[in-house]
Structure 1
């Protein structure tokens, strides 16, 4: 490919040739060079480092794959191993967002209901009170408090039966990825009845020679204590946390020597229906409604709706999911889309992801996807950079996915943010230990829009990690930092090379 001549330089040279016969200076050697003077833009294009040099500088063991194309016509501009299948990590959430938008619709709401299975007589429900989940991944303690207040406002003070909870709108799963450490908050349970992203807030503060410990269902306005998740302090150094399934409870222990003076963290809840039931009972009691300990209902009981809570529209939920990369949200909306598409509650995340893979083939025209969940947390998912780029282009053209993606700041060689950079990037990041991805759209100053996908993974190194090492493995942070620097270098390269020359 010829490089170094802009369209303007070429046109200027052509005009000179047209007039050359009339100029006496052409009869002898010119005093100065007739080569067009290169503009700064031409120089910047010539000095851009090759992609291979950027990859070599990143020193990432494993595989690197990328593809970039012009959005308007789909012309592929540059690739490197574009057909290697790698784990997408949380980049998969962009596909899940498209799946949910297409199947459920942007205005879809998840509805949580309180049902009375019998009439209300003198303030007493003649039957059970049922908290029925609708798959809302964003339900929190504040929402349960509002539902309890509405039940009280309906004149209810008690029940002849009991409090039931139902989460059967989606499958009930103890976690997203079984290979993750037990205590990481980004691997919560999944259910049709979720609360506080299925996490419990563990806080400890030094009190004399010991610690004061709380386990709470915290939200913006409420922080009720919970009993279904319990913490015991043990005199040991390692492991820091252990988990035991104690029937109706989540039993945790923590190494006393790891606590320091105080701190807090979110721990995953393994029994979301039990968790929501206990918190709802607490909120009911605060509003003068007396009920017994909640029990799980295997099927949705029939009855009259006393109160309901609507989530925000799906489009807002997806925007927040893509910004904060919440795994529970991705799994819940993906599962809900599969239920709507098939009419059946899937038995597993893998079964639901298989439906999404099929949707991508039929709706987006992209084959070869092999995702095993909707969040990207499972490292057995596979997709190539070319396929991911093709999916994003189709989602941009048909479903308007781009505004839901978050702004990615452009950074310099030292990875400092460049304020007011003329190049704008909207994309989804993805990070696992020794896995890094970035895919989305680049807006160039001249109006050109690019679509791209970048994946890097050292799968053998990741596979060698024990379950305990997956929280913070040696070398993991450095590897992922170098991967992000590579992504920025490629974006800078493409933003220079593929901006159109001015006329």
Structure 2
């Protein structure tokens, strides 16, 4: 069990983390007079801290490291390294996206998903079409759609004469967040104004004789409806493990038989989110005796009457979960929704929306280096400097709830075990891509000093050598990430000694 440590114990251990030792001279004979003891107070601890350059060299990351740290009370920059360098922030970008959404939409904003009808309702029968209309809720899940179907039944609907339409036009359709990611990674799905289960479909397989039973489901905590818009074929090969094709209006997948073993499961990205939500809703409506035709995507929402609705949690709660779990779909949806609120018009595409957020940041914080291509940080072409990231966080510190939404960053011992009850509190957003690591946020020291910082590390040459297939789990990627996080902690511990009051 890890014991809690006092501030004094921590400060002493920080010396060991820096890898420096203090040697005592061995005397051949006792001195004639008593030696004056060397002072070993706070000044001594500050003097023996290793320079930041030594910590960076020891991390052996290759590429480049930049950082900036300031006193959060005074705004005075205390230390920086390569301040003019703009680097990919990875998911640290979500901290700015959260601030953007909070300012433009408000912390109490709720996203609404509705069931609409054309042609009116007569004796429980919809005379025209039934429409599932998305309101850009990034958290809509299968359980919520089950409740929405039940609400439709409670409204007295028993049948629909026309078709079943699905509408996701509250936001522009994005085929995938980052085109440079492998086809099968669930963190780069499509995005639209109607999303379900973070646009992931659950693929499960079990050995059955010489073959496999496979299932594609819109799985949630309480329900497991099968879907047909996404299909999986097991193919006798070893590589590639997965292939994807947009075929006949469906997500057509194949998987290598040699990679499956006896059984397993994983989430796959959804490329047709409106059809996904429509199929799942159709299943639940039918369970209530309401037969619906196959869902059909419509581009424009016709004049229609609302029959049932469901609302998301407040934006504040959504953003807290986004920053904790780093959900890319949430970031893109709230970012594009904020752009629509800021401009009064639909963003042309994801890149245009991200550029509008960059413009907002320049106007709001006076920073110049920010140049984003998305709201999640998934794209490697996103750029911002450490001082500009830090400056934005500093200005958001007052008059914003952002700090309270950030996740605690655990400090660890030399065996990477979390140190419980550590005297330093770090609230920050992490960011990780292959050979890219970022961390930005706030440090609360035991004496009440508060620091604001940003650290970015990237080995873009090493990243550029990866094929798309290697980008899910590249060789050496995990150990590089551990060294980057160790460097982040070493810098924070250095600052805690140098800049405590």
Q: How far does residue 42 in structure 1 lie from its aligned partner after superposition? A: 3.3
1:338-361 superposed Cα distances (whole Å, 9 cap, x missing partner) = 011111111211100111011111
1:452-485 superposed Cα distances (whole Å, 9 cap, x missing partner) = 0000001111122111111111111111111111
Question: What are the ranges of 5 or more consecutive residues in structure 2 without an aligned counterpart?
Answer: 1-31
2:105 maps to 104
Taking the aligned partners of 2:385 and 2:398, their CA distance within structure 1 comes to 20
Taking the aligned partners of 1:419 and 1:294, their CA distance within structure 2 comes to 51
Taking the aligned partners of 2:397 and 2:431, their CA distance within structure 1 comes to 19
2:39 maps to 37
Q: How far does residue 413 in structure 1 lie from its aligned partner after superposition? A: 3.1
Question: What are the ranges of 5 or more consecutive residues in structure 1 without an aligned counterpart?
Answer: 1-29
2:188 maps to 187
1:414 maps to 415
Q: Secondary structure at the residue paired with 2:480?
A: helix
Mapping of 1:323-472 within 5 angstroms?
323-472=324-473
Mapping of 1:55-70 within 5 angstroms?
55-70=56-71
Q: Secondary structure at the residue paired with 1:439?
A: strand
2:309 maps to 308
Q: How far does residue 32 in structure 1 lie from its aligned partner after superposition? A: 5.8
2:23 maps to none
1:26 maps to none
Mapping of 1:22-421 within 5 angstroms?
37-39=39-41, 41-421=42-422
Q: How far does residue 34 in structure 1 lie from its aligned partner after superposition? A: 7.0
Q: How far does residue 35 in structure 1 lie from its aligned partner after superposition? A: 7.8
Q: Which has the larger displacement, 43-52 or 174-183? A: 43-52
Task: Verify the 8 A CA contact 1:109 1:311 in the aligned structure 2.
Answer: yes
Q: Secondary structure at the residue paired with 2:275?
A: helix
Q: Secondary structure at the residue paired with 2:181?
A: coil
TM-score scaled to structure 2, two decimals?
A: 0.92
Q: How far does residue 31 in structure 1 lie from its aligned partner after superposition? A: 6.4
Taking the aligned partners of 1:453 and 1:484, their CA distance within structure 2 comes to 13
Taking the aligned partners of 1:388 and 1:345, their CA distance within structure 2 comes to 27
Q: How far does residue 379 in structure 1 lie from its aligned partner after superposition? A: 0.3
Taking the aligned partners of 1:50 and 1:416, their CA distance within structure 2 comes to 25
Cα gap change, 1:407 to 1:158, in 2 (>3 Å): same
1:287-317 superposed Cα distances (whole Å, 9 cap, x missing partner) = 1111111111110122111110100000000
Taking the aligned partners of 2:74 and 2:34, their CA distance within structure 1 comes to 42
Taking the aligned partners of 1:321 and 1:492, their CA distance within structure 2 comes to 27
Q: Report the structure number with the largest CA radius of gyration.
A: 1
Task: Verify the 8 A CA contact 1:385 1:455 in the aligned structure 2.
Answer: yes
Q: Which has the larger displacement, 218-227 or 363-372? A: 363-372
Q: How far does residue 215 in structure 1 lie from its aligned partner after superposition? A: 0.3
Structure 2 residue 457 is matched with structure 1 residue 495:
no
Taking the aligned partners of 1:38 and 1:257, their CA distance within structure 2 comes to 63
Between the two proteins, the alignment pairs up a number of residues equal to 470
Q: How far does residue 212 in structure 1 lie from its aligned partner after superposition? A: 1.3
Taking the aligned partners of 2:98 and 2:409, their CA distance within structure 1 comes to 18
Taking the aligned partners of 2:367 and 2:34, their CA distance within structure 1 comes to 56
Task: Verify the 8 A CA contact 1:130 1:301 in the aligned structure 2.
Answer: no
1:112-163 superposed Cα distances (whole Å, 9 cap, x missing partner) = 0001112211221011111000000100011111111111111111111111
Q: Which has the larger displacement, 30-39 or 475-484? A: 30-39
Taking the aligned partners of 2:118 and 2:395, their CA distance within structure 1 comes to 47
Structure 1 runs of 4+ aligned residues shifted over 6 Å read 33-36
Q: Which has the larger displacement, 398-407 or 42-51? A: 42-51
Task: Verify the 8 A CA contact 1:248 1:274 in the aligned structure 2.
Answer: no
Taking the aligned partners of 1:259 and 1:53, their CA distance within structure 2 comes to 46
Q: How far does residue 36 in structure 1 lie from its aligned partner after superposition? A: 7.7
Mapping of 1:15-26 within 5 angstroms?
none
Q: Secondary structure at the residue paired with 1:48?
A: coil
Q: Secondary structure at the residue paired with 2:419?
A: coil
TM-score scaled to structure 1, two decimals?
A: 0.92
